[in-house]
Amino acid sequence: MDFYGFPRPDGQVGARNFIGILPAVGCVNAVALQIERLIKGTRAITHHQGCLHPPQDTEQVTRTLINLGKNPNCAGVLVVGLGCEMVKIEEVVEGIRESKKPVDAVVVHELGGMLETINKGAQIAADMVMEASKIRREKSGFDKLVFCTKCGSSDTTSGLSSNLVVGEVCKMLTDMGGTFIQGEVCDIMGGEYALKDLCVNPKEGDKIVGFVKDLYERGLAVGADTRGCQMTAGNVAGGLTTLVEKAMGANSKGQMVPIQSALLYGERPQCAGRHIMATPGHGFENLTGGAAGGSQLILFTTGRGAPNGHPVIPAVKICGNAKTNLTMKSHIDIDVASVINETETVRQAGERLFELAVDVASGRMTKAEILNFDGHMEILIKGPVM
Amino acid sequence: MKKYAKLVKVGDNVVTSVADIGENETFIVKTENGEKSYKSNQKVDFGHKIAVEEIKKGEQILKYGQEIGIATADIKVGDWVHIHNVRDNYEVK
């Protein structure tokens, strides 16, 4: 089992090799989508942010756009701007340029409209695709791998099987010098002190506790107790009794692996090992956070069958519910119900998942990719929207 | 067919059922020292918890080696453990 990826000038290794068409603001999504339709080998990375934010959100959106552009799955990036957005187009371009990959920008106001921008943008993208298509996959070390994780449409099997299996992969990957990013502050809620105990540096643990407190306080500001909102009727019907129980099941995606740092949303880790990022549970923003963190792919556990992927990173769907593995077969990449039936140990299933993940990082397509169920994403903002 | 419930961590006082277990039905928990059988006092659905130790009112419910809640009534071995006899005592600090 070897990892074959696309080498990038900054030493990262990509699992995919497309040209990202990245709107600086949601207003020009239509332009990015047209360029994607015209030019093979491009990927529109559309979202709905970039303007009328408080300064903290402009900073967060800018950081996320830059780091999405730096994701090793992008061979090059064409930034599409409108010309009046709060996010500074030049700042995004210069930020991505640090990765030494090809990057350029087209601005609708400067070029005089949509059709002119599509024309110029498509020409630039076509040249970038030609160059990118010359890059060949090379055998690369496992230390170049960065995986992120999330659970979606979870049920009681998530904490008993798929999350534990991902935790096993976290152990294997970090033992081999790779990087693992975990998030979902809402799911951490109740288990933040268990995570703090795993932090190499207590200051990072305080940050994780702070992520939870921030979510709680922001909920209270709009009159919601986010502790109560977390437990769905489905969770209770499925047998989950308390928030701490739910959080411990979610936390097991990293098992007892030590935590190196707590990351801001969309921030890149500074070292290998396990990290906790301030991502929400909501998939559209969550996967974007992991992609901006530099992940080549996401290990996405599900109980009832969450089908969606992400434009920048392939999503490997892992399911421990035997029934869902039958009814949602066309969306599940790996069946780990064996862990519940005890026909396989968590370790054995983890080895199987690690092998699949390395295959996907080396080019094997996921169900969400094959089904084109991966076109949408969002960038997290705290608001208020103005 | 044998019915099983899972002990997540040694020392936990509840196990999680991985089958629909009926009232007064025998279920098995695998431990490091082999299999141990218990009898359920109520019907316990897949994914729900059953006590494998006696838990007094006010004592902790332990799963994943972690306190997940507090018993609001005395719980006997074999009892179904859920929101009817457990209180969430989590607070954001």
Q: Above 80 in pLDDT, residue A110? A: yes
Residues A176 and A227 in one domain: yes
- Out of A155, A236, A248, whose CB is closest to B66? A248
Rounded distance between C-alpha atoms, residue A106 and residue A236, angstroms: 50
Domain shared by A291 and A348, yes or no: yes
Tell me, what's the pLDDT at A173? 98
In a domain, B23, yes or no: yes
In a domain, B34, yes or no: yes
Residue B51 forms part of a structural domain: yes
For residue B10, tell me if it sits in a domain. yes
Same domain, A112 and A223: no
A127 and A45 in one domain? yes
Phi–psi pair at A187, nearest 5 degrees: -80, -25
Pair A72, A161 in one domain: no
Q: Is the pLDDT of residue A190 over 80?
A: yes
Could you tell me if residue B35 is inside a domain? yes
Q: What angle do CA A100, A101, A102 make, to 5 degrees?
A: 120
Quick one: closest CA in A to B92, which residue? Answer: A213
Rounded CA-CA distance B74/B61 in Å is: 12
Q: What's the confidence (pLDDT) of residue A106?
A: 98
CA pair distance A138, A301, nearest whole angstrom? 29
Record: contact B93-A227, CB cut-off 8 A: no
**Containing domain of residue B75, as a range?**
4-87
Residue A2 lies in a domain: no
Q: In this complex, do A244 and B68 lie within 8 Å of one another by their Cβ atoms?
A: yes
- A375 is a domain residue: no
| Cβ–Cβ below 8 Å for B17 and A241 | no
Sheet with strand A13-14: strands edge to edge? A13-14, A3-7, A138-140
Based on the structure, what is the number of domains in chain B? 1
d(C-alpha A10, C-alpha A229), whole Å: 43
The answer to whether position A351 is within a domain reads: yes
Choose between B41 and A235: higher pLDDT: B41
Pair A313, A281 in one domain? yes
Q: Is residue B92 part of a domain?
A: no
What's the confidence (pLDDT) of residue A369?
Answer: 98
B83 chain-A contacts, CB cut-off 8 A: 236, 241
Beta strands in chain A (DSSP E): 3-7, 13-14, 18-23, 42-44, 74-81, 103-107, 138-140, 146-152, 179-182, 259-263, 273-277, 297-302, 315-319, 334-335
- With 90 as the cut, is the pLDDT of residue A234 above it? no
Question: Looking at A112, A132, A152, which one is the last position of a domain?
Answer: A132
Question: How many structural domains comprise chain A?
Answer: 2
**Residue A365 neighbours by CB under 8 Å, 6+ apart:** A314
Residue B64 placed within a domain: yes
What is the nearest CA distance from A242 to chain B, expressed in angstroms? 5
Verify that A125 and A148 share a domain, yes or no. no
In a domain, A341, yes or no: yes
Contact A248 B64 (CB under 8 A): yes
Q: Which residue from B minimizes the CA distance to A225?
A: B92
Between CA A241 and CA A248 the distance in angstroms is 12
Q: Same structural domain for residues A148 and A260?
A: yes
- Average pLDDT per block of 10 residues along chain B, 93 residues long: 90 94 96 92 96 98 94 98 94 88
Q: Is residue A385 part of a domain?
A: no
**A159 and A54 within one domain:** no
**pLDDT recorded at residue A102:** 98
Is A81's pLDDT higher than 90? yes
Domain boundary among A76, A107, A132: A132
Q: Does A321 touch chain B (CB under 8 A)?
A: no
User: Domain holding B66: CATH number?
Assistant: 2.30.130.110
Residue A230 has pLDDT above 80, yes or no: no
Residue A101 belongs to domain with CATH number: 3.40.50.261
CA distance to partner chain B, nearest, from residue A313 (Å): 31
In the predicted structure, residue A264 carries a pLDDT above the cut 90? yes
Share of chain A above pLDDT 90, in %: 91
B73 near A CB under 8 A: no
Whether residue A60 is predicted with pLDDT greater than 90 in this model: the reply is yes
- Do A177 and A203 belong to one domain? yes
Contact A242 B46 (CB under 8 A): no
Half-sphere exposure of B54 (CA within 13 A, CB side): 2
A152-155 CB contacts, 8 Å cutoff, 24+ apart: A152/A281, A152/A283, A152/A300, A152/A301, A152/A302, A152/A306, A152/A308, A153/A302, A153/A303, A153/A304, A153/A305, A153/A306, A154/A249, A154/A250, A154/A301, A154/A302, A154/A303, A154/A304, A155/A234, A155/A238, A155/A303, A155/A304, A155/A321, A155/B47
Per-residue model confidence (pLDDT) at position A320: 96
| A155 Cβ under 8 Å from any chain B Cβ | yes
Q: Is B27 within the bounds of a domain?
A: yes
pLDDT given for residue A319 in this prediction? 97
A314 Cβ contact partners less than 8 Å away, ≥ 6 residues apart: A15, A16, A296, A297, A298, A360, A365, A366, A368, A369, A374
Query: What would the two tokens of residue A293 be?
Result: 């963190």
Query: CB B16 to CB A160 under 8 A?
Result: yes
Looking at the structure, do residues A183 and A275 belong to the same domain, yes or no? yes
Of A132, A156, A173, the residue at which a domain comes to its end is: A132
- Interchain CB distance below 8 Å, B6 and A155: no
Q: What is the mean pLDDT of chain A?
A: 96
Q: Which residue of A has its CA nearest to B5?
A: A340
pLDDT for residue A237: 87
Q: Are A23 and A43 in contact (CB under 8 A)?
A: no
Nearest-angstrom CA–CA distance, A141 and A5: 9
Predicted local distance difference test score (pLDDT) of residue B13: 97
pLDDT for B93 equals 84
The count of other CB atoms within 10 Å of the CB of residue A55 is 8
pLDDT of A300 over the 90 cut: yes
For chain B, say whether A244 makes contact (Cβ under 8 Å).
yes
Query: Which residues of chain B neighbour A238 with C-beta distances below 8 Å?
Result: 47
Q: Does A200 touch chain B (CB under 8 A)?
A: no
Q: Do B17 and A249 touch (CB under 8 A)?
A: no
B70 touching A (Cβ < 8 Å): no
> Within this chain, do residues A123 and A159 fall inside the same structural domain, yes or no?
no
What pLDDT is recorded for position A126?
A: 98
Predicted complex ipTM: 0.96
Flag the least confident range among A149-158, A189-198, A276-285, B37-46: A149-158
Domain, as residue range, for A76: 18-132
> Among A190, A191, A241, whose Cβ lies nearest the Cβ of B86?
A241
**Can you tell me the mean pLDDT for A280-294?**
97
State the pLDDT at residue A232: 79
Look at residue A204 in the predicted model and tell me its pLDDT.
Answer: 98
